Structure 1
C-alpha cells in the first residue's frame, strides 16, 4: 500500500537487499528489494510499500534516529550551566576598570591610556598595597600576623556568613550557594573588614574613577574631572549598576553588594581627594608638564568656558592678564608632583571658571550697581555690538533655566534599577525575583492601558558633547551669540587707560585651617546677587557646588593679591637705618 509520507525517504548502500538482514518478499509485488527510510522502516523500492518491520540499528550514529514507535517520552537533558569560578575582589575591580577604559577609548581617548598608563597604574597600586604581583600578598601576611583567637573568630564569622547563621558583620547574611559552593568573591568578608582601615588603602568604586582620572591626566587628554563625572552621569562611562557588565562566571552575591553596589555618583571633591591619595599610595613620579599646548592649561580652558557662557572674545585678553599677574600659567604651578606634594593637584576646570569670574569682577565689579550702570552707558552709545551685562543676563537666564529643567527631566527618565539584581542572601532570592516580575508586569500593563511606549531616553544612544549651550542664529540655538561684541570697560585719564571699576571687592582671604568647614553658606546671603548668579551658572556647567567655585575664586584672589603686595613691597624703598653716634664721655 502506497503512503504519501514516503517522499522524504532516502536510500543507502547499507540498506540494500539481503545485507540488511531482511529478505522477506514484498507482500505487494513479491520483490526482494528493500530500502531503509530515515525513520528506520523497510520499504520496497519497486512498489514503495512500507512494512511494519524496523531495522535493527547497530552503529552509534543511527542510535539517535527517532523511532516511529514511541514507548515513552524522555525529558530532554538540561545543558549544564556554566559554573561560577573562584575570584578575588581585586579581580572584580579590574573588570570595572577595563569596562571604564573601553568606554573612554570608544569616546576618542588614545589607546595608550588603556594599554599602558592605566594598566601600569593598576599593577603599581596592587604591588604597593601588596594585594597582587608580590610574593607575600596582604591576605597571607594578615593570617600569619594575627593571633590564634583573631584568626578563629574570622573563620567562624566567615563560616556563619556562608551558612546563614548570624554573623558579626550583621548587615548581609548568606546561607550558602545555589551552585553547591561559595558564590561571589572569596575574600569579600576580609575585604569588607579592611575597608575601614586606612593603612590597607583598599580599592573602592569612587577610587576607580580617581584612577581613570589620573591616567587621563598622565596622557594629557582634554577630559577634565568635571567631564569625567558628567560622562558617568550620562551613562557613557559605566559606574552605576556596574555588576551588569560582569562576566557570567563571576557571580556577585552576598557581601559583594557592599563593595560593588553604588546608588549615587561621587562628588567632585571626593574623587579629587581619592586621586591625590592614590597617587601618593602608588608613589608616582612627577606628571608630564601642563604647558600652554596642553588643553588642561587655564588659557585654552578659559576659551572653552567663555564660549560656553556666551561672553565676548575680548574678555580673553583680560583673562590672560589675570593669569599672568597671578603666576597661574607657570608649568611648575600646574604640574602635579605626588612625591613633593607641592604643588597640589590643581582643579583645572574650576580654576579656569574662577579666573573668568575674577576678571568679570575686575571689569564690572558685580556689586549689583556698577555692572548695571555700565550696561546703561553701553546701551546709550550709538556704536553697535557693545557688550551689555544686562542684555547678556537676559539672554543667558532663560537658556540656563531650560538647560537645568532638561537635565532634571533626563535624570528622571533614567532607569536606576539594574538588569541583574543583587542577591544578598539565598533566603531572599525568590522574593527579589518575584518583586522584579511584579514590577515588569505592572509596567507592561500600564503601557497597554495608556496605549503608549515607554519614553526611556538613554544617554548612551546620543553623542556626547562637552558643551551645554549652542549660541547663534541657527535654528535650535539657545540664543544670539555675543562673542563678537566689544568691551567698553576702560576710560582714559591723562593719556593712560584705566578700568571703569576703580575698587575691587572681595571677601576675607585668610586661609582657614583644614578642620574648618566651608563658610559659603554663612556668607551667601550677604554676597551680591549677580555674583551668586554667576557662581550658580558655572557650578551648573561644571557639575559642582557653588561653594567649590567660590572657594577657587578665593584661591585665585589670594594668588593675585599676594603677587600685587609682593610687587608693591619691592618697589617701596626700605627706610635707612640711623646709626647712633657714640656718646662723649
Structure 2
C-alpha cells in the first residue's frame, strides 16, 4: 500500500540506505527504517477546481518525470512485435517448424513495416508527420472513453495541456495515429486480429497442418497468447491510458474476421504465389475431410465418395488451392470449412437429409438386421455392418451435448479480464488499484467456499474433440467400419446412388457490398436434420453455422452449376459459327 502511495519512489535513504518510504499525515516522505523525513511530498490534484472549471492550465513537470521514471520511450509497432514474438514461440513450442519464427513470420513482419513505412525505410512516416491532435469533441477520444469505462473504473482519462486542448495520455509515443480513422486506413496500421492473420499467413506459407480453426481454438485455450497479452509486456514498457484500446483483447475474433484480415495483409505485403497445396499436404481437402470424418464418427468408406465430390467440383486442382496474392482473381481458400462442406454435400447426396428419406433408409437398414430365419446368418451379418443414420444420430447427439456443456463450463471459468489493471488516469490510480484488490479478494473467497481452484490449467491441444471406441473414457461406440453398400446400386459396371433427388437452397447472386447474412432468415425453413449436421461440424470447427452453410452453398454451386456454365461457354462460339455459315 505504501508503494502505491509513494508512486514507486525507489531512491535509497541518505542516512541508512534503505528503500522503505511511507507518507506522513502531512503527505511528506519519511523512511520507515530510520524515520528520516525528506523534502519530497506527494502532489494533490484539487478536485473541486477540476469540477468547477473543467480545465487545468499547467501540467507539473514532476508528474511527467514520475510517469516516465524507470521506463523507456516505445512505439506501438514495438508492442505488436513483442506479441508476435510470443505467439511464434508458443506455436513453435506446440510443434510448428522452427523456421516459422526465425524466417517466415519475421520476414513477413519486416516486410509489413517496410510497406507501411514504419521501419526499414529512409523516410518513415512517423518521423515526417506529427501525431493527430485529438480534441475533447473528436470521435476517437470519445470512443476511447466509452471503452475504457468498464476497463479501469472512472471514465476520466484526460489530462490538459497549457494551451487548453485535451488529449488522452498513453505510454507509447505514436498511439494518436491509431485513433484517426483516415490515418489508420491509409497506413494499414496493425491491430490485434491482424497479429493472428499474420501468423495464419506464415502457417500457410509453410503448409503446416494448423488450419485457421485450429489457430483460433489454440487461442481460446490460451495456448497461443492473445487475450490480455499486454500483461506480459516488459517492465520498461509503460502500458498506459490510450494503449488499452489498441492492445486490449478480451474476446476472440471470428473466423471471417481473421480470414479477411489475412487476405488484406497478403495484398499489402504484395506476396508472391504461395507454395502449392499438393495431395500429400495436410491442408488438402482430401486429407482434411478424413480427419473430420473420424471426429464425426462417420464410416471410412464415405471418404472415397467425398474424394469423388472433390474431383467433380475441381476442388483438387492446384490453381484452385494455391493462393496467389498477385493474381487479381485469386482467393484465399477456407481449407477447413471446404473440407467439412464437402462432407455435408456427400451426406446430402447419399441420404438427402430432408427429414424423410434418411429415416426411411434407416428403417430399411434396421429391417435387414431382423430378417427371417431363412437367410438369417448371411442377412443379419450384412445388416449389422450397414451404416444407419438413425443410430449415428442417437450415438453422436448425447456426446455432442456433453461436449458443448464442457466447452461452456471451460469458457465460464476463463479469466477474460486482465489481472493487471490498465491505469487510464493517474488521478484515479488509487481507486483503480483498490477496486482490483477488492475483486481479487472476492474471487479468492468465492473459490475457497466453492472448493475450486482459482487458476485454471491450460488444456492440451488435442486434434479431435471426441473419442470413439470401446475404451472406458470413450464418447460412444465407433461406426468407422460400417458399410455403405445399401446406399449404392449396381447398374452395369457403375455404382449409382439409391437416392435419386437432391435439394439445395436458392443460389442468390448478391452484390458483395450489399450482401448480408441470410442464414437466420433461412434457418427455420431448412430440414432439421440438415441443421443438426451443420451444428455438429460447426462445433468441430469452432465456427458459426452461417459460415459453414455459406461454404456448403459454394460447393453445391460448383457441383450443380459447374457443368452447365462450362457447356454454355463452349456452345457460344458454335452458335456464332452456325449463324455466320448460314447463307440465307
* Superposition TM-score tier, normalisation by shorter sequence: 0.7 to 0.9
Distance 2:463 2:493 in 1: 44
Maintained 8 Å contact 1:366/1:528: yes
Is 1:472 aligned to 2:474, yes or no? no
Pairwise mapping of residues 47-58 of structure 1 onto structure 2 (< 5 A)? Answer: none
Partner residue in 2 for 1:262: 249
Distance 2:135 2:496 in 1: 74
Pairwise mapping of residues 214-293 of structure 1 onto structure 2 (< 5 A)? Answer: 214-293=201-280
Partner residue in 2 for 1:511: 509
Query: Which structure's CA Rg is the greater one?
Result: 1
Partner residue in 1 for 2:431: 431
Higher helix fraction (1 or 2): 2
Judged with a 3 Å threshold, the aligned counterparts in structure 2 of structure 1 residues 569 and 85 are, in CA distance, closer, same or farther, namely closer
Distance 2:521 2:354 in 1: 18
Q: 1:378 aligns with which of 353, 362, 365?
A: 365
Displacement of 1:490: 1.1
Maintained 8 Å contact 2:447/2:454: no
Is 1:397 aligned to 2:397, yes or no? yes
Structure 1 unpaired stretches of 5+: 1-62, 65-71, 144-150
Per-residue CA deviations over 1:239-286 (Å, capped at 9, x if unaligned) read: 111111101100100100110011211000000000000000111111
Judged with a 3 Å threshold, the aligned counterparts in structure 2 of structure 1 residues 326 and 127 are, in CA distance, closer, same or farther, namely same
Judged with a 3 Å threshold, the aligned counterparts in structure 2 of structure 1 residues 458 and 77 are, in CA distance, closer, same or farther, namely farther
Partner residue in 1 for 2:520: 521
Give the 3-state SS of the residue equivalent to 1:186 in structure 2: coil
Maintained 8 Å contact 2:133/2:176: no
Displacement of 1:311: 0.3
Distance 1:214 1:565 in 2: 35
Q: 2:339 aligns with which of 352, 365, 369?
A: 352
Q: Normalised by the size of structure 2, how large is the TM-score?
A: 0.78
Judged with a 3 Å threshold, the aligned counterparts in structure 2 of structure 1 residues 105 and 176 are, in CA distance, closer, same or farther, namely farther
Is 1:74 aligned to 2:31, yes or no? no
Distance 1:101 1:410 in 2: 25
Per-residue CA deviations over 1:33-79 (Å, capped at 9, x if unaligned) read: xxxxxxxxxxxxxxxxxxxxxxxxxxxxxx99xxxxxxx9636999x
Pairwise mapping of residues 485-564 of structure 1 onto structure 2 (< 5 A)? Answer: 485-487=482-484, 488-493=486-491, 496-514=494-512, 515-564=514-563
Per-residue CA deviations over 1:385-415 (Å, capped at 9, x if unaligned) read: 1100000000010000000000000011111
Partner residue in 2 for 1:211: 198
Give the 3-state SS of the residue equivalent to 1:491 in structure 2: strand
Displacement of 1:356: 0.2
Q: Which stretch of the first structure deviates more once superposed, 372-381 or 210-219?
A: 372-381
Per-residue CA deviations over 1:490-518 (Å, capped at 9, x if unaligned) read: 12346653211101111112432102112
Pairwise mapping of residues 313-328 of structure 1 onto structure 2 (< 5 A)? Answer: 313-328=300-315
Per-residue CA deviations over 1:180-213 (Å, capped at 9, x if unaligned) read: xx86111112332257642110000000000000
Is 1:308 aligned to 2:295, yes or no? yes
Maintained 8 Å contact 2:255/2:543: yes
Distance 2:133 2:348 in 1: 63
Give the 3-state SS of the residue equivalent to 1:198 in structure 2: helix
Displacement of 1:436: 1.1
Judged with a 3 Å threshold, the aligned counterparts in structure 2 of structure 1 residues 389 and 453 are, in CA distance, closer, same or farther, namely closer
Maintained 8 Å contact 2:470/2:477: yes
Displacement of 1:238: 0.6
Judged with a 3 Å threshold, the aligned counterparts in structure 2 of structure 1 residues 278 and 477 are, in CA distance, closer, same or farther, namely same
Displacement of 1:226: 0.4
Distance 1:262 1:82 in 2: 27
Displacement of 1:319: 0.4
Displacement of 1:377: 1.1
Give the root-mean-square deviation of aligned CA atoms.
3.0
Judged with a 3 Å threshold, the aligned counterparts in structure 2 of structure 1 residues 453 and 565 are, in CA distance, closer, same or farther, namely closer
Maintained 8 Å contact 2:300/2:481: yes
Maintained 8 Å contact 2:293/2:299: yes
Per-residue CA deviations over 1:128-159 (Å, capped at 9, x if unaligned) read: 0001111111123334xxxxxxx8xx46859x
Q: Which stretch of the first structure deviates more once superposed, 539-548 or 345-354?
A: 539-548
Q: Which stretch of the first structure deviates more once superposed, 310-319 or 189-198?
A: 189-198
Maintained 8 Å contact 2:90/2:224: yes
How many positions carry a matched residue from both structures?
Answer: 491
Is 1:108 aligned to 2:95, yes or no? yes
Is 1:408 aligned to 2:395, yes or no? no
Give the 3-state SS of the residue equivalent to 2:543 in structure 1: coil
Judged with a 3 Å threshold, the aligned counterparts in structure 2 of structure 1 residues 348 and 375 are, in CA distance, closer, same or farther, namely same
Partner residue in 2 for 1:366: 353
Q: 1:339 aligns with which of 312, 322, 326?
A: 326
Give the 3-state SS of the residue equivalent to 2:385 in structure 1: coil
Pairwise mapping of residues 158-197 of structure 1 onto structure 2 (< 5 A)? Answer: 171=145, 173-175=157-159, 184-194=171-181, 197=184
Maintained 8 Å contact 1:195/1:202: no
Partner residue in 2 for 1:27: none
Structure 2 unpaired stretches of 5+: 1-15, 18-31, 39-65, 146-155, 162-168, 369-379
Per-residue CA deviations over 1:272-304 (Å, capped at 9, x if unaligned) read: 000000000111111111111110000110000
Judged with a 3 Å threshold, the aligned counterparts in structure 2 of structure 1 residues 121 and 348 are, in CA distance, closer, same or farther, namely same
Partner residue in 2 for 1:12: none
Distance 2:209 2:497 in 1: 34
